[in-house]
Amino acid sequence: MNRPMDRGWRWRFWTLLTIVVGVPILIGILLAVRFLPDRPVTYANIEDHFKYGSTGGERNAGFPLFLWKALPVVFADKLPQNGATGYRAFGMIYEKDEHGQDRELPVGVMRRRHVGLDRVFVNCAVCHSTTVREAPDKRQKVYVATGASHFDLGRLEKFFTDVVVDERFTASVLVPAADRESGGRLGLLDRYVIYPVAIALMRERLLMLRDRFVPLQTETWGPGRVDTWNSAKTGVNFVIGRLPEHERRGAVDFPSIWNQRKRKHRDDGQPMQLHWVGNNVEVNERNLSAAFGTGATPATVDHAAIERLQEWLLDAVPPPFPWPVDTARAARGAKVYGQHCARCHGKSGQDFSGAYVGHVTPLTEVGTDPYHYYSYTYDLAANQNVLYAGTPYRFTHFRKTDGYANMPLDGIWLRAPYLHNGSVPTLRELLEPPASRRPRFYRGYDVFDPVRVGFVSDVPEENGRTFALYDTSEPTRSNAGHLYGVDLPAADKDAIVEYLKTF
Amino acid sequence: MFAWTPERKRTLRITLVTLAVVLAFGAWFGWYKFFRVVEPPPFASADERFLYGSVGGEESAGIPYWIVYVLPRVFPDKLPGPNGWASFGFSWQEGKELPIGFTKKTIGFERVGNNCAGCHVARYRLSPDGPPTFVPTGPNHTFNLEAFFRFLVDCAQDPRFNAGTLMNEINLAADLSWIDRMIYRFVLIPFTGKQLRDRGPQFAWIYKHGLPEWPDWGRGRDDAMNLTKYFLTKLPLDDTLGPTDMPSIWNIKKYKTNPGTRLNFAGDSVDANSVIIDSALGVIGAPPSNNQTFLEQVEWLTKYLEGYPAPKFPVDPDPAKAAAGKPVFDAHCARCHASARTGTVVPVEEVGTDRERIKSWNKGAAIVANRIVKSFGIDRPGLVEDDPKGYVAAFLDGIWLRAPYLHNGSVPSLRDLLNPVAKRPRLFYRGYDVYDVVDVGFVSQEHQAERMRIPWADVKAAATPYDVSWRSNGNIGHEYGVDLSPGEKDALVEYLKTL
């Protein structure tokens, strides 16, 4: 037994060992290098991180990059037919890179290397970034941490849930299309294994979402709006079709999310009631709840990345009004505002003190559109208590309230259109009685009206791009209520608007 | 020839030691993942303990936490409403992970069980905009227990109850370790499915459909004696049906201080302690794993319930009117409800109320049940070994929150109860939690909703229909005070608010 092996046997032994052990190890290493990395694209600059950085949702919901790019090409007929192409048809924003070319992905789309391919999905910025032009011939300026006033999330959701049941949603159509988008760079493994498998998995996931989302009628939301709580209900798989009629729809404007630290305190020492219905006082729960929209579930959320955003949002400030302000008139406006608005909306854009700021005003008193209020129910609040169960992040602060929360007005100029449902296009109109507010206007056009303060809302079309009609007679879109200041003299109203420009 | 050479002995020793180590680790691992009991931290208050404290049901009837978590998401079509677990009308305190009456305990893995509070915490609101008030030991009139039973069995029998489907949903909600995912996939999900399916045959009677013979229990009721019959005594199914209101269980020292009184609607038991034992055994669904801890918890519950006061009417009653109602009460009600007769059985021939409940229990069942509990090693005075003959004349403490009225909950409000049978509502909706302080009862009819400006659709969505022509639902009998003048009735109702 102790006889040394001769040369031939030794050689055979090593060869065999290499084949039996070495080759599988090598293959294993190659596969691991290919499939194991979980690496988000990161940005040193916090605004870039907000626009393009990860929340972790791609791990759960991420589309393969080239498929993401191929979908609006293959299914161009399913895009909103408004004269725009690609994701621009949903009002998504493409910034220029350092070479002056459009970036590969629009604002609000994040990217991560995960399970062997680049996966992309929407992040916070898709609903919280907007553009403003000072005049039709001026350049678009991108603003972050505000409501995405032109982005049609509902139609984007409709698009994804429509294409998945189309006969073209197959590997044989989509893989070549994805390859074209990649510039022919898809490898054999991508083309014959990874992408076909990814398409199958995507179909499965999108079909599930389709079941849950179609009853929401997301296409009725319109640009700049989302049905927050019915979306949350689909997350816990409430059956929307079985809800009482008035609870089934409640689209509201995307809110601004800056200055979160200041919202942790109101005059009575308590934190402010957040969300339009004031149903939660915890900023962190608010943020994790919103992150569900980016596909970030308790199992996939990237807490480190979200905390970085959270930290920044605590003290992020709104951009100043980009036009000159008449200081004398603003000073006069400050007085009128102090008498009629400050108790509910804070002293100024920086000072949020006021007896009722961050409190909820009963619906019967404020009198604005009730649907969003109806859509948030005690039963949903109860079910939200189990979100993030088994982790230190479990939600414990959701409450049913009796109305809408009084918001601080920081950066209010950029938060047009106004009221929770975006039913009043300009600040100046909000100071008029509902009968004098525009009953029909257009949303999605980003030229700004610095006089009345709000986006220019009577332009149905520009260079072939059509905009969405907002009809205040439709459910969830009423411009009634909030009758504060409507009886003031016109000069006082003008002065208030001037003062609000300084917020 | 085989010989024990030193080498072989050594090999054997190494093998044995290795085997022992592996076995010991395996045993430890099995104990850790399946049997290790983690004692929950003590409760902040007695009410918390009542609401969320274990009665020992997790061991045999507990369902793994993440299965409970995803069931309403995987099977929303089988829920009685659109709102997840909340559809069953559990009372859910703000910020709490589980509804009232649900317990969470780690025995190897986290398990969810139930306790008494599931059926015995009332909730009410005075307007649809306010948050609910919870009253421990009050009747849970919103809870659809039968739908809950059916849901569990139905889910387990559905082809979607498989590891693949459930794990997909669990993985959306939780970041379980690989080991735990394997345990769920290969052990807990199949095992739980089998356990729930095995309960199916005993629940056969709640699957009998067809009106008017087999109505649903509806919200706020349970077929208590049949549950005892089929689960504790395992007697064969008979054709009886006797759902009754969930009772209030506050202030039970009244049964002690008034000897000769009976408990349960038909007076099936003589002693509060026995009722608590039998009800807790029903929640556990098996002999207690440890009689001593079980009886200690029962002892604690008895003390807690003995001293728990009946709740005050939420709006101050009009003192003058209530005072005027007192003599009316004394003249027309006190004979049964404030006298030596209170708490004793009134023959059904005399009170004239629906008889189905008393048919659902009998002497034979009582004898078997007593024998079985004794065989568990639990000594208790127990159930009355006789056929029930009527219904207990109830103590009226906190009567306002015990709507709807009569043992089967067939009369929605006190005002309705003072009407002759012909004028009592024949169809109403049970289980909506807004309280009507005028009629004294929950909003259950359209005219109440209109008066209180509540969308009738909301009431119907949260409630279950109750038709008095369905079997066991009769609203006959107890026609006392029906001939009083409207003024006298007003005064009497006002007085009843003070009880």
| Residue A284 in contact with partner chain B when CB distance is under 8 A | no
Return the pLDDT at A3.
58
Say how far apart CA B428 and CA B416 lie, in whole Å. 12
CA distance A403 to chain B (A): 9
Return the pLDDT at B211.
85
Test the A interface: residue of B97, B181, B454 with most A CBs within 10 Å: B97
Chain A neighbors of B95, CB-CB under 8 A: 385, 396-398
Q: Is A175 left (phi over 0), alpha (psi -120 to 50) or beta?
A: alpha
Say how far apart CA A167 and CA A78 lie, in whole Å. 13
CB A59 within 8 A of CB A123: no
pLDDT tens, residue by residue, B140-197: 999 999 999 999 999 999 999 999 999 999 998 999 999 999 999 999 999 999 999 9
CA distance B105 to chain A (A): 13
Return the pLDDT at B1.
66
Count the Cβ atoms, other than its own, within 10 Å of residue B296.
11
Return the pLDDT at B370.
92
Look at A245 and B457 and tell me if their CB atoms are within 8 Å.
yes
User: What is the SS3 assignment for A117?
Assistant: strand
Chain A neighbors of B131, CB-CB under 8 A: 378, 399-400
Chain B neighbors of A236, CB-CB under 8 A: 72-73, 84
Angle at B354 (CA atoms; ends B353, B359), nearest 5 degrees: 125
Look at A402 and B83 and tell me if their CB atoms are within 8 Å.
no
Residue type, A309: L
Chain B neighbors of A244, CB-CB under 8 A: 455, 457-458, 461
| ipTM for this model | 0.86
Give the residue from chain A lying closest to B104, CA to CA: A390
| Residue A394 in contact with partner chain B when CB distance is under 8 A | yes
Closest CA to A62 of A104, A103, A110, A108: A110
Q: H-helix or E-strand containing A186? A: none
pLDDT tens, residue by residue, B353-403: 999 999 999 999 999 999 999 999 998 888 999 999 999 999 999 999 999
Q: Which residues of A428-452 are buried (b: 16+ CB within 10 A; e: fewer)?
A: bbbbbebeebbeebbbbbbbbbeeb
CA distance B5 to chain A (A): 19
Look at A237 and B77 and tell me if their CB atoms are within 8 Å.
no
Look at A298 and B94 and tell me if their CB atoms are within 8 Å.
no
CA distance B165 to chain A (A): 12
Q: Alpha carbon A453 to chain centroid distance?
A: 23
Look at A240 and B171 and tell me if their CB atoms are within 8 Å.
no
Give the residue from chain B lying closest to A232, CA to CA: B83
Closest CA to A237 of A212, A207, A268: A212
Q: Residue with structure tokens 């691992």?
A: B29
Chain B neighbors of A390, CB-CB under 8 A: 65, 174
Q: Which residues contact A453 (CB under 8 A, 6 or more apart)?
A: A413, A416, A426, A427, A428, A497, A500, A501
Chain B neighbors of A238, CB-CB under 8 A: 76, 82-84
Both tokens of B321, joined, read 């009117």
Chain A neighbors of B98, CB-CB under 8 A: 386
Closest CA to B119 of B90, B94, B158, B162: B90
pLDDT tens, residue by residue, A164-209: 999 999 999 999 999 999 999 898 999 999 999 999 999 998 998 8
Look at A397 and B131 and tell me if their CB atoms are within 8 Å.
no
CB A260 within 8 A of CB A352: no
pLDDT tens, residue by residue, B465-485: 999 999 999 999 999 999 999
Look at A239 and B76 and tell me if their CB atoms are within 8 Å.
yes
Q: Residue with structure tokens 């009332």?
A: B122
CA distance B84 to chain A (A): 6
Nearest-by-Cβ selection for A386 from B82, B97, B458: B97
Please report how many Cα atoms fall inside a 13 Å half-sphere around the Cα of residue B336, on the Cβ side.
Answer: 15
CA distance B81 to chain A (A): 7
Query: What's the whole-number mean pLDDT along residues B263-284?
Result: 89
Residue type, B174: A
Nearest-by-Cβ selection for A244 from B95, B172, B458: B458
pLDDT above 80 for A5:
no
pLDDT tens, residue by residue, B251-272: 999 998 888 899 999 999 988 8
Distances (CA, A) of A30 to A15, A17, A178, A197, A248: 21, 19, 24, 19, 50
User: What is the SS3 assignment for A1?
Assistant: coil
Taking a contact as any Cβ pair under 8 Å apart, which residues of chain A between 456 and 475 contact chain B? none
pLDDT tens, residue by residue, A95-133: 998 899 999 999 999 999 888 889 999 999 999 999 999
pLDDT tens, residue by residue, A51-73: 998 888 888 888 999 999 999 99
Say how far apart CA B407 and CA A392 lie, in whole Å. 45
Look at B129 and A60 and tell me if their CB atoms are within 8 Å.
no
Provide the sign of the torsion angle of the four alpha carbons B481, B482, B484, B490, taken in this order: positive
Count the Cβ atoms, other than its own, within 10 Å of residue B198.
11
* B45 burial via Cβ count (<10 Å: 0-12, 13-18, 19+): exposed
pLDDT above 60 for A1:
no
Residue type, A40: P
Both tokens of B426, joined, read 């024949």
Count chain A–chain B contacts defined by CB atoms under 8 A: 88
Residues of B with CB under 8 A from a CB of A: 65, 69, 72-74, 76-77, 79, 81-87, 92, 94-99, 129-132, 171-175, 455, 457-458, 461
Taking a contact as any Cβ pair under 8 Å apart, which residues of chain A between 227 and 246 contact chain B? 236-246
| Residue A191 in contact with partner chain B when CB distance is under 8 A | no
CB B482 within 8 A of CB B473: no
Strand ranges, E, within B51-120: 63-64, 102-107, 109-114
Look at B82 and A396 and tell me if their CB atoms are within 8 Å.
no
Look at B83 and A394 and tell me if their CB atoms are within 8 Å.
no
DSSP state of B133: E
Query: What's the whole-number mean pLDDT along residues A355-375?
Result: 96
Look at A383 and B84 and tell me if their CB atoms are within 8 Å.
yes
| Residue A382 in contact with partner chain B when CB distance is under 8 A | yes
Share of chain B above pLDDT 70, in %: 100
Distances (CA, A) of B179 to A451, B29, B68, B184: 63, 11, 19, 9
| Segment among A146-155, A200-209, B323-332 with least mean pLDDT | A200-209
pLDDT above 80 for A448:
yes
pLDDT tens, residue by residue, A231-268: 999 988 898 988 988 999 999 999 999 999 999 999 99
pLDDT tens, residue by residue, A289-336: 988 888 888 888 888 888 999 999 999 999 999 999 999 999 999 999
CB B244 within 8 A of CB B363: no
Share of chain A above pLDDT 90, in %: 79
Nearest-by-Cβ selection for B95 from A60, A244, A396: A396
Task: Kindly compute the dihedral angle of the four CA atoms of residues A191, A89, A206, B184, in this order, to the nearest 10 degrees.
Answer: 100
CB A243 within 8 A of CB A216: no
pLDDT tens, residue by residue, A211-241: 888 999 999 999 999 999 999 999 888 989 8
Chain B neighbors of A389, CB-CB under 8 A: 69, 97, 173-174
pLDDT tens, residue by residue, B27-62: 999 998 888 888 888 899 999 999 999 888 888 788
pLDDT tens, residue by residue, B63-112: 999 999 999 999 999 999 999 998 999 988 988 999 999 999 999 999 99
CB B282 within 8 A of CB B232: yes
Both tokens of B243, joined, read 């759902």
Query: What's the whole-number mean pLDDT along residues A454-459?
Result: 96
Count the Cβ atoms, other than its own, within 10 Å of residue B49.
18
Say how far apart CA B443 and CA B454 lie, in whole Å. 9
CA distance B484 to chain A (A): 41
Look at B77 and A378 and tell me if their CB atoms are within 8 Å.
no
Return the pLDDT at A69.
96
| Residue A298 in contact with partner chain B when CB distance is under 8 A | yes
| Residue A166 in contact with partner chain B when CB distance is under 8 A | no
Closest CA to A307 of A226, A392, A242, A197: A392
Does the N-terminal peptide bond of residue B212 adopt cis geometry, omega within 30 degrees of 0? yes
What residue spans define the domains of chain B? 1-34, 38-118+145-216
Query: What's the whole-number mean pLDDT along residues A139-155?
Result: 96
pLDDT above 70 for B297:
yes
Chain A neighbors of B132, CB-CB under 8 A: 378
Euclidean distance between the first and final Cα of chain B, in Å?
94
Look at A297 and B81 and tell me if their CB atoms are within 8 Å.
no
Closest CA to B393 of B343, B348, B355, B347: B343
Test the A interface: residue of B83, B104, B180, B434 with most A CBs within 10 Å: B83
Both tokens of A68, joined, read 């993401």
| Residue A143 in contact with partner chain B when CB distance is under 8 A | no
Closest CA to B164 of B76, B78, B64, B74: B74
Chain B neighbors of A396, CB-CB under 8 A: 95-96
Closest CA to A316 of A254, A274, A263, A252: A263
DSSP state of B107: E
What phi, psi does B107 have (nearest 5°)? Answer: -120, 90
Say how far apart CA A84 and CA A150 lie, in whole Å. 13
Give the residue from chain B lying closest to A398, CA to CA: B95
CB A160 within 8 A of CB A171: no
